Amino acid sequence: MSLIKVLGIDLGKSTFHVIGHDQSGREQLRRKFNRIKLLQFLSTHPEVIVAMESCGGSHWLARKCQSFGHQVKLIPPQYVKPYVKTNKNDYIDADAIAEASTRPSMRFVSVKTEQAQVMSVIQRIRSGYIKERTACMSRIGAILLEFGMTFPKGHSQMKKLFQWLADNGEPISPLLMQSLVEHHDYYKYLNKQIETQDKKLKQLVENNERAQLLKTIPGIGDLVASRCLSDISNAHDFKNGRHMAAWIGLVPHQHSTGGKSTLLGISKRGNKSLRTLFIHGARALMSRPELAIKLFGNWLLALRARKPFNVTVVALANKLARIAWSVMTTQKPFEVRV
Q: Report residue 11's pLDDT band, with 50, 70 and 90 as the boundaries.
A: very high
What are the two backbone dihedrals, phi and then psi, of residue 59, each rounded to the nearest 5 degrees? -70, -35
pLDDT at 198 over 90: yes
Which of 8-17, 127-136, 168-177, 326-335 has the weakest average pLDDT? 168-177
> Does pLDDT of 338 surpass 60?
no
> Between 293 and 199, where is the model more confident?
199
Give the chain's domain count. 3
Residues 169 and 187 placed together within one structural domain of the fold: yes
Is residue 109 domain-resident?
Answer: no
Residue 1 has pLDDT above 70, yes or no: no
- Within this chain, do residues 50 and 126 fall inside the same structural domain, yes or no? no
Asked whether residue 309 is assigned to any structural domain, the reply reads: yes
Do 284 and 323 lie in one domain? The reply is yes
Where does a domain end: 206, 240, 274? 206
What's phi and psi for 120, nearest 5 deg? -65, -40
Residues 189 and 257 in one domain: no
Q: How many CB atoms lie within 10 A of CB 16?
A: 24
Last residue of a domain, one of 44, 65, 100: 100
Q: Is residue 32 part of a domain?
A: yes
- Where does a domain end: 100, 124, 140? 100
Q: Is pLDDT larger for residue 299 or for residue 65?
A: 65
Q: What distance in Å separates the CA atoms of residue 18 and residue 95, rounded to the nearest whole number?
A: 8
Contacts of 147 (CB under 8 A, 6+ apart): 170, 172, 176
The model's pLDDT over 171-189, given as tens digits with 9 standing for 90+, comes to 888 999 999 999 999 999 9
Task: Identify any residues that bridge with 52 across adjacent strands, giving them in sequence order.
Answer: 9, 74
Residue 244 sits in the same domain as residue 318: yes
Q: Is residue 337 part of a domain?
A: no
Does residue 106 belong to any structural domain of this protein? no
Percent of the chain with pLDDT over 90: 70
Residues 239 and 201 in one domain: no
User: pLDDT value at position 266?
Assistant: 78
More confident residue, 148 or 131: 131
Do both 237 and 249 map to the same domain?
yes
pLDDT, residue 253, reads 75
Whether residue 1 lies inside any domain: the answer is no
CATH at residue 93: 3.30.420.40
The mean of the pLDDT values for the chain is 90
Q: Encode the chain in three state secondary structure.
A: CCCCCEEEEECCCCEEEEEEECCCCCEEEEEEEEHHHHHHHHHHCCCCEEEEECCCCHHHHHHHHHHCCCEEEEECHHHHHHHCCCCCCHHHHHHHHHHHCCCCCCCCECCCCHHHHHHHHHHHHHHHHHHHHHHHHHHHHHHHHHCCCCCCCCHHHHCCHHHHHHHHCCCCCHHHHHHHHHHHHHHHHHHHHHHHHHHHHHHHHHCCHHHHHHCCCCCCCHHHHHHHHHHCCCHHHCCCHHHHHHHHCCCEEECCECCECCEEEECCCCCHHHHHHHHHHHHHHHCCHHHHHHHHCHHHHHHHHHCCHHHHHHHHHHHHHHHHHHHHHHCCCCCCCC
Residues 154 and 249 in one domain: no
Same-domain status, 197 and 134: yes
At residue 17, does pLDDT exceed 90?
Answer: yes
Q: Is residue 302 part of a domain?
A: yes
Statement to judge: residues 236 and 182 lie in one domain: no
| Rama region for 84: left / alpha / beta (φ>0; ψ in -120 to 50; rest) | beta
What percentage of the chain has pLDDT greater than the value 70?
98
Q: Is the pLDDT reported for residue 336 higher than 80?
A: no
User: Residue 221: pLDDT above 70?
Assistant: yes
Q: pLDDT for 50-76, tens place per residue? A: 999 999 899 999 999 999 999 999 999
Shared domain for 234 and 189, answered yes or no, is: no
- What are 240-284's pLDDT values in tens digits? 999 999 899 888 777 777 777 766 777 777 788 999 999 999 999
Whether residue 221 lies inside any domain: the answer is yes
128 and 194 housed in the same domain: yes
Beta bridge partners of residue 32, listed in sequence order: 17
pLDDT (0 to 100) of residue 337: 63
- Give the residue numbers spanning the domain of 249: 209-330
